[in-house]
Structure 1
Amino acid sequence: MTLHPAVAAVRLGVRRALGGLEPGRTVVVACSGGADSLALLAATVFEGRKAGWRVVGATVDHGLQAGSADQAARVVEQMAALGADETFSATVRVEANGLGPEAAARRGRYAVLEEIAERVEASALLFGHTRDDQAETVLLGLTRGSGGRSLAGMRRRYDLVVRPLLDVARADTVTACQVEGISYWDDPHNSDPAYTRVRVRRTVLPMLEEQLGPGVAETLARTADQLRDDMDLLDDVAESAYAGLAGLPVDGLLDQAAPIRRRVLRLAALAAGAPAAELFHEHVLAMDALLTDWRGQKWVDLPGHLRCRRVDGHLSISR
């Protein structure tokens, strides 16, 4: 029997992403019970059996919806039925700490999944983000004026995190589940227009496809790939420059090109304890003005209860 193209696309994504993984290694698949993550888990189990990997399924209950514990239990049963060698279920308490509900939930989810990956000595932690998710991320970054890094979208891999499905359409993960007889959960949050991402998914992208022609999501995702290489190069140069600028001397910073200098300032703020999710471009520009438009300003307030000052020919960031 011929393999359905949707199933083949998901399996190919896993095979390409994990092609260099040695037999005997462990991979963790983050699984919400939605079509994307269940299709990913099924494909990883299939590829893992051929390659000799140990596949662990992990689901996280944020406790934000009625019946979420029951849903997590169902996902555990599904992961086991799909052939996962081991399953985990964890409950996290979502604490905003100045973040929006989505960002706070994501932070808690990633933290506990990374703990699970460490516990089982995993070589990779897989997430089921698709090409459509990437397109939404790029559009959101564009509307927020968040700069090149946001437009570069989600990274295919960093540290243990791997996203094998960034070249796979969401429609393919849904079809793959249907073809393989996998029942999936539709998270009510994914249809709630109160969330900006939902409005982008259900209104903005379809309108762009209608007005500009099909393929907008694919084009946005391709743009992210192209930008990411440029951003990675600039970030590498900035990290090298930061390592060589001990004490943040004003003259040394001014010797750097503006894109590198501002990245160095951001790195310095992060190193001092500024939360990445709250450190915006406006903060970096204000720090940069202490160098390029110095008029005796006392300080610049930064998130994390920090202040950046210009003192004796150096910038200083402290609480």
Structure 2
Amino acid sequence: MDRPGAVAELRAAVGAFAAAHDCERWCVGLSGGADSLALTAVAAALRPTVALIVDHGLQAGSATVTQTARQQALNLGCVDAQILTVDVGAAGGPEGAARTARYRALDHARTGLPVLLAHTLDDQAETVLLGLGRGSGTRSIAGMREFDAPWGRPLLAVRRAVTRAACAELGLTPWEDPHNADPRYTRVRLRTEVLPLLEEVLGGGVAGALARTAAALREDTEALDALAERTLPEIMRGEGLETAALAALPAAVRRRVIRLWLLEGGARDLTSLQIRRVDALVTAWHGQGGVAVGSALRRARLFAGRRDGVLTMHTETV
């Protein structure tokens, strides 16, 4: 796409983000692809920028790719460009494990600065579709926030085609990640098969509509989360939750109170199904046993249960 003004469009988006969030310096996550390369170019022209380049080591020649990206970042005016080498585990599948390792490395290297990520409107639309398909609840369908400290996403209203056009305007050659064309990855099939079909069937504008849906749901989610935060202390009994008080709450608030309580008790990576099972200890109680929830514990499991009209948490050794 040869679109004059693409760089100006990106500059406006990143400048608005900087003004809204009072950013004086920042890091940017750079893969070398068109989205992150265009973001780096614009960010470095606006604020002192440190480029953080993660080498996942999953593809032959990854060291060359990261070295090229580092040199591009310095040529674009970044004050520093660091290559972060990570070991990708297996938990959560290939995409999930790589994402976990990447975010951990970025968080460690950012030295207190926010990190700009090059997620676009197209990425937001794909995220909403994934959430819909997996039935993972409104929190997932609400998509990504523009700023979820320390992660900033100034391009969420910008189409992916604009970042490619910006690279062309600037004479930059982005890296083409072969994984982005590999149909074994769910996001690739959404990008290349599902979204184009939806655009054809529904007459266009689907990506933008999905992003608007995410924004609306995010506003509702944040309002309900705030209500849950105010409600939680009112129904605590010791370290547990009073089930009678929980049962009187609207379902959307009750489940958010349960989620917040679980997180404060050490739960991690909660799923919608786990929260609903804990909720059933309140709404469909018939003496059932505890519900296992995710946690960071290595040799024990975390459970939520019910005793004497109170939701409680306990651990069991594996």
User: Within 1, Cα distance between the matches of 2:233 and 2:59?
Assistant: 45
- Following the alignment from structure 2 to structure 1, what is the Cα–Cα distance between the partners of residues 135 and 20? 37
Say yes or no: does 1:6 pair with 2:6: yes
1:76 partner letter: R
Amino acid of the structure 2 residue aligned with 1:43:
V
Could you say which residue in structure 2 is the equivalent of 1:64? Answer: 58
2:87 to 73, 90, 93: 93
TM-score by length of 2: 0.92
Q: Indicate the residue corresponding to 1:199 in structure 2.
A: 189
Deviations 1:54-98 (A, max 9, x none): 11111101111111122111111111011101111101111233x
Q: What's the RMSD between the two structures over aligned residues? A: 1.6
Q: Deviations over 1:15-43 (max 9, x none)?
A: 111015668x3210110000000000111
- SS at 1:248's partner residue? strand
Deviates most, 140-149 or 294-303: 294-303
Pairing 1:93-172 to 2, within 5 Å after superposition:
93-97=87-91, 99-117=92-110, 119=111, 121-122=112-113, 124-172=114-162
Partner of 1:39: 38
Equivalent residue for 1:54?
A: 48
Does structure 1 residue 307 correspond to structure 2 residue 303? yes
Per the alignment, do residues 275 and 208 of structure 1 end up closer, same or farther by CA in structure 2, a change over 3 Å counting? same
1:76 equivalenced with 2:70 (yes/no): yes
Q: Once the two structures are aligned, what percentage of the paired residues are identical?
A: 46
Q: Distance in 2 between matches of 1:54 and 1:29?
A: 10
Q: In 1, distance between residues paired with 2:87 and 2:76?
A: 28
State TM-score, norm by structure 1.
0.91
The yes-or-no answer on 1:274 pairing with 2:305 is: no
Runs of at least 5 residues in structure 1 that lack an aligned partner in the other structure: none
Q: Does 1:290 align with 2:286?
A: no
- Checking the alignment, whether the CA contact within 8 Å between 1:274 and 1:306 is kept in structure 2 is yes
Give CA-to-partner distance per residue, 1:85-132, whole Å, 9 cap, x none.
Answer: 1111101111233x1221121111111111222x2x42x210000000
SS of structure 1 residue aligned to 2:156 = coil
Q: Which residue of 1 aligns with 2:252?
A: 259
What is the CA-CA distance between 1:318 and the residue it aligns to?
1.9
The answer for the alignment partner of 2:298 in structure 1 is: none
Aligned AA (2:185): Y
**Where do 1:165-180 residues align within 5 Å?**
165-180=155-170
- Whole-Å Cα distance in 2 between the matches of residues 105 and 273 of structure 1? 24
Q: Which amino acid aligns with 2:85?
A: T
- Counterparts in 2 of 1:7 and 1:105: CA distance versus 1, 3 Å: same
Residue 17 (structure 2) pairs with residue 17 (structure 1): yes
Shift of the alpha carbon at 1:136?
0.5
Residue 252 of structure 1: CA displacement? Answer: 2.1
1: CA distance between counterparts of 2:16 and 2:263? Answer: 33
> For the residues of structure 1 that align with 2:102 and 2:128, how far apart are their CA atoms?
22
C-alpha distance in structure 1 between counterparts of 2:144 and 2:162, whole Å: 19
Q: How far apart, in 2, do the equivalents of 1:268 and 1:28 lie?
A: 33
Deviation at 1:275, TM superposition (A): 2.4
Distance 1:284 1:21, change over 3 A: closer
Q: Deviations over 1:153-189 (max 9, x none)?
A: 1111111211010111000100110111001011111
Q: Deviations over 1:234-262 (max 9, x none)?
A: 11111222233322111221222111111
CA 1:264–1:22: 2 relative to 1, 3 Å: closer
| Match among 196, 199, 209 for residue 219 of structure 1 | 209
Q: Is the 8 A contact 1:44 1:55 kept in 2?
A: yes
User: How many pairs align?
Assistant: 305
Structure 2 Cα separation of the partners of residues 271 and 188 of structure 1: 40
Query: How many angstroms apart in 2 are the aligned matches of 1:199 and 1:22?
Result: 38
